[in-house]
Chains A and B, each alone.
Chain A
Amino acid sequence: MNKLRTFTIGGVHPKENKLSEQSSITVLPLPKQLVIPLGQNLGAPPKPVVKKGDEVKTGQLLARAEAFISANIHSPASGKIAKIDEAMDASGYKRQAIIIDVTGDEWVEGIETSTSLNKEISLSKQEIISRIKECGLVGLGGATFPTHVKMMIPEGKIAEYLIINGVECEPYLTSDHRLMLEKGDEMLVGIQIMMKALGTEKAIIGIENNKPDAIAHLKKLAVNYNGISIQPLKVKYPQGGEKQLIKAVVNREVPSGKLPIEVGCVVSNVGTAFAVYEAVQKNKPLIERVVTVTGTSLSKPSNFLVRVGTPVSDLIAAAGGLPEDTGKLINGGPMMGKAVSSPDIPIVKGSSGILLIKKVESKRSTPQSCIRCSKCTVVCPMGLEPYLLAKLSKLSVYDKAEKERIMDCIECGSCQFTCPSSLPLLDFLRLGKQRVGHLIRTRK
């Protein structure tokens, strides 16, 4: 048996808990009202092009990207704009959002809603990129970086590999897994479209070995597509981290502070590949996504195809209702997701999962003093010393923290997960990163 590939520094093995892995993707009915936050992408939010009282159809443009790093937003249903006002989103803050009273699901002209597979790629490189931009695509792995920007390779660089993230290393989450099983062909076409846009000959899909069915399925399908291969990976968190994935799949190390293109790679996620297929082959904007709703007390952990703007409470209800003992609601996975205070927030482009954690598991253990066991250092995938960085942040010694490479921290949480003294290492690291980031910006 040859050794499975993985990244080399650090990593942890949280309990996988993939409760919803066997549940096929089901379509969630439209809610009465949709709340569409404007800030759904990394970068500047787009500007609304509709106003209160306007009638809109499914797929109609609601807000246009004006900045370079920004993404269009389209209407996820047909209905009437109730208002453009502040509403709470997953950040826990009130932010500008377009609120639509839903009347139905009438699509605008020119969008193909049939599910027949279309493998013929007729658009040119430029047309593909502008279509992706038009359709408001962002990375669906969670970072929500506008996809069209990623497709534009900087002058002088070449993308040797397109690496597709099918790792889903976060415990509990299964949306990518289901998508690979159920939309394999569409995804592969999406990957070929991205390869064309990037001018790349080779694409590799990295999948952790705990999804043997997805690996086998895609391997079988991939023989019909040129240049796409599947790379099974050893299960280890945070393999879905961009830098860790590149290291695992092609054994290249992205230099500190640089982007993947520096080592000839572009990374995208399986969900994004599917969205690219829909945008380019069907002219369908990004208005829905697959979301895992899960938790050990939940009666029906599920994977739903959900329109953007649907309230989280609807998803929980469809998955069997909110369990009594829920203490924490996580938008995302347990390692990197954000805790939110209420289920009255909308699903956005970047929501990959909703996780309910029991009350008894919601409380952190009391921190003790650091026993200098160095376990945090051993598990840090970036080769940092979390105990030291946390201490420097606590003492506000930011210049030293910068020298000790605090900005390399990817906030994966492995250190805090491991710390036997239950120290809130990542809390301090985030604080430190914020301050050091500020220092760096003021220096410029």
Chain B
Amino acid sequence: MSIFTVSGSPHVHGEENVKKIMYTVVFAMVPAMLVSIYFFGIDAVRVLLISVISSLFFEWVIQKYLLKGPVTINDGSAIVAGILLGFNVPANIPAWMIIMGSLVMIGVAKMSFGGLGNNPFNPALVGRVFMLISFPVQMTSWPVAKPLFAPQLTDAITGPTALGLLKEGVDAGKTIEQIVSDPQMPQYLDRLLGNMSGSLGEISAVALLLGGIFMVYRKVIDWQLPVSIILTVFAVAGIFHLIDPQHYIEPSFHIFSGGLMLGAIFMATDMVTSPMNMRGKIVYGIGVGLLTIIIRLWGAYPEGISFAILIMNAFTPLINNAFKPKRFGIALKK
């Protein structure tokens, strides 16, 4: 008689796998990619390609020749990391700088900790912060957004971001009124759609939101996490605006400028580096929101979300330990 396979239950498996999750994230980033190509043209394509290809390349080299183990570059995680790194830099950045960033991202932040699932810090953010510190000039001179096929209106090739203008203005002692009347300051609708200077992927809140909704629908992220970040930023910025509208801009400005949307939707929600349980995710989200707005309002940098997420990444193990899921049959309420 035939002998059958014996293994423990369960004997069936659901539909989910790592690849599917990673490609869901890639798919969710498509709207933001299209917007970046629309506004930054061929430069956006160049940055994204270099970033993705170098990420895949470094992961392959490290897995094959340094770790001498299985090569898993087709699991999609290096592609996600590559796109995210590309999203976090200006479109006119030199190629070799992206490659350096990608080496740090894949080599230091991901593979040296044991690869996918074992890294404590978000690799793309480690890559970005490395680049920001190493190449501060190139990382903070943004090309002016120019819609595809539109005639060149200004001579300006690079321009400040909305957050940069704000920081500069506040530091120079201008009032909010003066700052927003600056002709370089993008209008509300432009900020929503992405018609402004900034890193590749951060410019269009609408495109990022579309991707976020898709990921929530596919259960890749929980909406509570990005929402808790955004609400926290909104609340703190709002309180200061109410107290002193002369020096603190209205809160929605913070939501729709800079990397907040990108960070809240795509970076802070990274499964590997964010907390496991719902209450923990909300605490983490509030932490990211608080740190972001503190850095933006009073820190040296106009932007704060990258540092905020990295700092909260470091708290993730503690948060996991402190906030457990609701257990069945414990703490009965009568």
Q: A97 in the interface, Cβ–Cβ < 8 Å? A: no
Q: 1/0 per residue A413-431: CB within 8 Å of B?
A: 1001111111010110010
Q: B153 in the interface, Cβ–Cβ < 8 Å? A: no
Task: Give the distance to chain B from A77, nearest Cβ to Cβ, in Å.
Answer: 24
Q: B14 in the interface, Cβ–Cβ < 8 Å? A: yes
Cβ of B2: which chain A residues have Cβ within 8 Å of it? Answer: 322, 326, 342
Cβ of B325: which chain A residues have Cβ within 8 Å of it? Answer: 9, 377, 380, 383-385
Q: A236 in the interface, Cβ–Cβ < 8 Å? A: no
Question: Are B10 and A256 closer than 8 Å at their CB atoms?
Answer: no
Question: Are B271 and A335 closer than 8 Å at their CB atoms?
Answer: no
Question: Are A92 and B7 closer than 8 Å at their CB atoms?
Answer: no
Cβ of A339: which chain B residues have Cβ within 8 Å of it? Answer: 4-9, 11
Q: A399 in the interface, Cβ–Cβ < 8 Å? A: no
Question: Complex formed: what's the CA distance from A355 to B9 in Å?
Answer: 13
Q: A395 in the interface, Cβ–Cβ < 8 Å? A: no
Q: A364 in the interface, Cβ–Cβ < 8 Å? A: yes
Partner of B4, one of A253, A342, A381, A383: A342
Question: Complex formed: what's the CA distance from A337 to B5 in Å?
Answer: 13
Q: 1/0 per residue A213-255: CB within 8 Å of B?
A: 0000000000000000000000000000001000100000111
Task: Across the interface, name the chain B residue whose C-beta is closest to A371.
Answer: B117
Cβ of A335: which chain B residues have Cβ within 8 Å of it? Answer: 9-12
Question: Are A334 and B329 closer than 8 Å at their CB atoms?
Answer: no
Question: Are A340 and B6 closer than 8 Å at their CB atoms?
Answer: yes
Question: Are A426 and B330 closer than 8 Å at their CB atoms?
Answer: no
Question: Complex formed: what's the CA distance from A313 to B4 in Å?
Answer: 13
Question: Complex formed: what's the CA distance from A385 to B114 in Å?
Answer: 22
Task: Give the distance to chain B from A73, nearest Cβ to Cβ, in Å.
Answer: 26
Q: B118 in the interface, Cβ–Cβ < 8 Å? A: yes
Question: Are B276 and A256 closer than 8 Å at their CB atoms?
Answer: no
Task: Give the distance to chain A from B266, nearest Cβ to Cβ, in Å.
Answer: 15
Task: Give the distance to chain B from A339, nearest Cβ to Cβ, in Å.
Answer: 4
Question: Complex formed: what's the CA distance from A343 to B325 in Å?
Answer: 42
Question: Are B328 and A383 closer than 8 Å at their CB atoms?
Answer: yes
Question: Are A382 and B4 closer than 8 Å at their CB atoms?
Answer: no
Question: Are B6 and A256 closer than 8 Å at their CB atoms?
Answer: no
Question: Are B328 and A381 closer than 8 Å at their CB atoms?
Answer: yes
Partner of B332, one of A255, A342, A416: A255
Task: Give the distance to chain A from B117, nearest Cβ to Cβ, in Å.
Answer: 4
Q: B68 in the interface, Cβ–Cβ < 8 Å? A: no
Task: Across the interface, name the chain B residue whose C-beta is closest to A366.
Answer: B70
Task: Give the distance to chain A from B108, nearest Cβ to Cβ, in Å.
Answer: 18
Question: Are B20 and A256 closer than 8 Å at their CB atoms?
Answer: no
Question: Are A329 and B10 closer than 8 Å at their CB atoms?
Answer: no
Question: Are A341 and B329 closer than 8 Å at their CB atoms?
Answer: no
Task: Across the interface, name the chain A residue whose C-beta is closest to B4.
Answer: A329
Q: A363 in the interface, Cβ–Cβ < 8 Å? A: yes
Task: Give the distance to chain B from A382, nearest Cβ to Cβ, in Å.
Answer: 4
Question: Complex formed: what's the CA distance from A14 to B8 in Å?
Answer: 17
Q: A362 in the interface, Cβ–Cβ < 8 Å? A: yes
Cβ of A341: which chain B residues have Cβ within 8 Å of it? Answer: 3-4, 6
Question: Are A424 and B16 closer than 8 Å at their CB atoms?
Answer: no
Question: For chain B residues 27-76, which have a beta carbon within 8 Å of chain A?
Answer: 72, 75
Task: Give the distance to chain B from A293, nearest Cβ to Cβ, in Å.
Answer: 15
Question: For chain B residues 113-165, which have a beta carbon within 8 Å of chain A?
Answer: 114-118
Interface residues on B, range: 35 or more
Partner of A364, one of B6, B7, B14: B7
Task: Across the interface, name the chain A residue whose C-beta is closest to B70.
Answer: A366
Question: Complex formed: what's the CA distance from A348 to B59 in Å?
Answer: 54
Question: Complex formed: what's the CA distance from A427 to B16 in Å?
Answer: 19
Question: Are A417 and B10 closer than 8 Å at their CB atoms?
Answer: yes
Partner of B277, one of A14, A374, A424: A374
Partner of A328, one of B5, B14, B17, B276: B5
Count A interface residues, CB 8 Å: 72
Question: Are A243 and B11 closer than 8 Å at their CB atoms?
Answer: no
Question: Are B327 and A92 closer than 8 Å at their CB atoms?
Answer: no
Question: Are A253 and B16 closer than 8 Å at their CB atoms?
Answer: no
Question: Are A334 and B11 closer than 8 Å at their CB atoms?
Answer: yes
Partner of A357, one of B11, B72, B114: B11
Q: B21 in the interface, Cβ–Cβ < 8 Å? A: yes
Question: For chain A residues 9-55, which have a beta carbon within 8 Å of chain B?
Answer: 9, 12, 14-15
Q: B213 in the interface, Cβ–Cβ < 8 Å? A: no
Q: A116 in the interface, Cβ–Cβ < 8 Å? A: no
Cβ of B13: which chain A residues have Cβ within 8 Å of it? Answer: 364-365, 416-417, 422
Cβ of B75: which chain A residues have Cβ within 8 Å of it? Answer: 368
B4, B5, B6, B72 pick with most chain A CB within 10 angstroms: B4
Q: A373 in the interface, Cβ–Cβ < 8 Å? A: yes
Task: Give the distance to chain A from B115, nearest Cβ to Cβ, in Å.
Answer: 7
Cβ of B326: which chain A residues have Cβ within 8 Å of it? Answer: 9, 383
Question: Are A417 and B12 closer than 8 Å at their CB atoms?
Answer: yes
Question: Complex formed: what's the CA distance from A341 to B2 in Å?
Answer: 8
- Contacts known (A383-B328, A384-B325, A408-B327); A371 close to B271, Cβ less than 8 A: yes
Question: Complex formed: what's the CA distance from A381 to B325 in Å?
Answer: 11
Partner of B11, one of A257, A330, A342, A370: A330
Q: 1/0 per residue A369-398: CB within 8 Å of B?
A: 111111101001111110110000000000
- Contacts known (A340-B4, A362-B5, A372-B272); A14 close to B14, Cβ less than 8 A: yes
Task: Across the interface, name the chain A residue whose C-beta is closest to B333.
Answer: A253
- Contacts known (A339-B6, A385-B276); A256 close to B328, Cβ less than 8 A: yes
Question: Are B6 and A373 closer than 8 Å at their CB atoms?
Answer: no
Task: Across the interface, name the chain A residue whose C-beta is closest to B3.
Answer: A341
Question: Are A371 and B329 closer than 8 Å at their CB atoms?
Answer: no
- Contacts known (A330-B11, A339-B5); A382 close to B327, Cβ less than 8 A: yes
Task: Give the distance to chain A from B239, nearest Cβ to Cβ, in Å.
Answer: 32
Q: A83 in the interface, Cβ–Cβ < 8 Å? A: no
Question: For chain A residues 313-343, which have a beta carbon within 8 Å of chain B?
Answer: 313, 322, 326-330, 332, 334-343
Q: A199 in the interface, Cβ–Cβ < 8 Å? A: no
Q: B324 in the interface, Cβ–Cβ < 8 Å? A: yes
Task: Across the interface, name the chain B residue whose C-beta is closest to A10.
Answer: B328
Partner of A387, one of B273, B276, B328, B330: B276
Task: Give the distance to chain B from A298, nearest Cβ to Cβ, in Å.
Answer: 14
Question: Are A342 and B8 closer than 8 Å at their CB atoms?
Answer: no
Question: Complex formed: what's the CA distance from A83 to B53 in Å?
Answer: 71
Q: B300 in the interface, Cβ–Cβ < 8 Å? A: no
- Those 7 A-B pairs whose CB atoms lie nearest each other, nearest first: A413-B10, A383-B327, A369-B117, A420-B16, A374-B276, A256-B329, A334-B12
Question: What are some 6 contacts across the A-B interface (CB < 8 A)?
Answer: A9-B328, A328-B6, A335-B10, A340-B6, A405-B330, A419-B16
Which residues of A are at the interface with B, using a C-beta cutoff of 8 A? 9, 12, 14-15, 92, 171, 243, 247, 253-258, 313, 322, 326-330, 332, 334-344, 355, 357, 361-365, 368-375, 377, 380-385, 387-388, 405, 408, 411, 413, 416-422, 424, 426-427, 430
Q: A256-B330, A313-B1, A368-B18 given. 16 additional CB < 8 A pairs?
A: A15-B12, A243-B329, A255-B330, A329-B4, A342-B1, A361-B12, A363-B5, A368-B117, A371-B116, A372-B272, A372-B273, A380-B325, A405-B330, A417-B13, A418-B16, A420-B21
